Structure 1
Amino acid sequence: MTLTAFLAAAASPVAAAPTRLDPIQLFLDADIVVQIVIIGLLLASIWTWAIIIGFTLRMGRTRRHARKFEDDFWSNSDVDSVMDSRRTKENPSARVAAAGISEYRRSHKKGLRDREAARARVAQAMEGQVAVESDTLADRLNFLATTGSVAPFVGLFGTVWGIMNSFFQIGLQQNSSLAVVAPGIAEALFATAVGLFAAIPAVIAYNRLSNTVNGFEARLTRFADRVHSQISREMEGA
């Protein structure tokens, strides 16, 4: 090496090695297939959090409306004034009560020739409505269950693809040094990390929110039982 070349090499700035992981740079350096996998997992994670926040707000509002309706229902002797169309449309408890009262009135209009059959129809109408309300509340939770179970495998697919790409680079460059293999492996493992990032909140939220739905279903069932008891007493006096 000549003196001029030595001085030029000494004067040139040495690129500083990264001191921490840069997720954005890992994403930009990744293979197009791994990038697609990561984008899909990030979108699933965003939708998961949207469902969690939306469901939590909706459930809190639904509980307040149900509690208010049930208090008014038991404290007011005029059922028709409580069962207005707007409340029945927006309130699960109101719809459950409306199903039982509607069935009772249809049976009463035809004459209560068989009170036990009428009681059974009223109970069945309210039980069916409770099931409908629970299914409606839990509808979007299926996405959380799907994300929680599928996202790790989607991330694993990105990992396998990235490792395959690393082996391809080894064969292409005829070099098995860590400098050749490490970038591809880092990109691959990043896909797995994103998959877990999407899956873990989805699993936790699904279990927690499912318990919330089950608890609200039990509350509706207890309310339906009380309404059924009240209707049965009215049938006895009819």
Structure 2
Amino acid sequence: MDQAVNAANLGAAASGLSLWSLFLHAAIVVKLVMIGLVFSSVVVWGIIFDKIVTLRRVNRQAGVFEDKFWSGGSLDDLYETDGAKPVHPLAAVFGAAMGEWRRSSRISGVDLARGGVQERVDRAMNITITREMERLGRWMIFLATIGPVAPFIGLFGTVWGIMHAFGAIAAMHNTNLAVVAPGISEALFATAIGLVTAIPAVIAYNVINNSLSLFEDRMAAFGTEFAAILSRQSEERG
């Protein structure tokens, strides 16, 4: 009789399970796994939002700067307004190259068309591109890590929860579905959270990484074109 009442109560509890109740009734280890995954999910979405906003901004700023650059105005004037104290990556590339070229031009007797100057300008731009890409790619390693790892963390919580549930079932000496279901549901909830955390991280990493690669190519192409312009001006001065 008591077993029948307990089974009925457990069945009623199982039918009314919510996500919050699944969390509350989970084992402490499973709770810690869930909390860690939820926190990771919040960080993932924060990174996604930050990268989307940042990439849109730098691409828009790069477009405005390129319009100024190709407008035919003075490179020295553009350096003073945008390159000396750059506020976006493309201006930083321009400022690094232009600054190196201007420093070389002040040295008495230096042939600006000589390969050494060109190499220093190219090196300055490459270093700047690398530094700017490292800054833009900050926290991408977190997305790359949490994507493949989160499902396994959730699976660990599930395995632990199932072990805990089976222990409780053995203690009750009752294998009724109403007894088994709540514990199994709590355990599987950890895997669900792991997948919810991992899927956006994997998709975002691929999309954002592709956008970063395209922007790096854009900076490299600008650097190549600007280096050619400086080389021509050096030959004209020489």
Q: Normalising by the residue count of structure 1, what TM-score does the alignment of the two structures yield? A: 0.87
Which stretch of the first structure deviates more once superposed, 169-178 or 199-208? Answer: 169-178
Rg larger in 1 or in 2? 1
**Residue in structure 1 matched with residue 8 of structure 2 by the alignment:** none
Aligned-pair CA distance for 1:85: 6.0
Whether the 8 Å contact between 2:146 and 2:198 is mirrored in structure 1 is: yes
Distance change in 2, residues 1:32/1:85 (3 Å): farther
Whether the 8 Å contact between 2:150 and 2:195 is mirrored in structure 1 is: yes
**Residue in structure 2 matched with residue 47 of structure 1 by the alignment:** 43
Whether the 8 Å contact between 2:157 and 2:187 is mirrored in structure 1 is: yes
- How many percent identity over aligned positions? 44
Distance change in 2, residues 1:32/1:18 (3 Å): closer
Which AA in structure 2 matches 1:26?
L
Distance 2:196 2:114 in 1: 57
Any gaps of 5 or more consecutive residues in structure 2? 6-10
Q: Say what the alpha-carbon RMSD is for the aligned residues.
A: 2.3
**Residue in structure 2 matched with residue 26 of structure 1 by the alignment:** 22
Distance 2:72 2:64 in 1: 12
Distance 2:57 2:16 in 1: 44
Whether the 8 Å contact between 2:158 and 2:190 is mirrored in structure 1 is: yes
**Residue in structure 2 matched with residue 211 of structure 1 by the alignment:** 210
Whether the 8 Å contact between 2:79 and 2:98 is mirrored in structure 1 is: no
After TM superposition, the runs of 4+ consecutive aligned structure 1 residues lying more than 4 A away are: 15-21
Distance 2:74 2:82 in 1: 17
Distance change in 2, residues 1:38/1:201 (3 Å): same
Distance 1:75 1:20 in 2: 68
Whether the 8 Å contact between 2:82 and 2:91 is mirrored in structure 1 is: no
Structure-to-structure mapping, 1:131-210, within 5 angstroms: 131-210=130-209
Structure-to-structure mapping, 1:105-120, within 5 angstroms: 105-110=102-107, 111-113=109-111, 115-120=114-119
Which AA in structure 1 matches 2:196?
F
Whether the 8 Å contact between 2:30 and 2:190 is mirrored in structure 1 is: yes
Any gaps of 5 or more consecutive residues in structure 1? 1-8, 10-14
Whether the 8 Å contact between 1:169 and 1:180 is mirrored in structure 2 is: no
Q: Normalising by the residue count of structure 2, what TM-score does the alignment of the two structures yield? A: 0.87
**Residue in structure 1 matched with residue 93 of structure 2 by the alignment:** 96
Distance 2:81 2:170 in 1: 72
Deviations 1:209-237 (A, max 9, x none): 00000000000011001110000001112
State which of 44, 62, 66 in structure 1 corresponds to 2:62: 66
- Number of aligned residues: 227
Whether the 8 Å contact between 1:169 and 1:181 is mirrored in structure 2 is: no
Distance change in 2, residues 1:20/1:204 (3 Å): farther
Aligned-pair CA distance for 1:86: 6.1
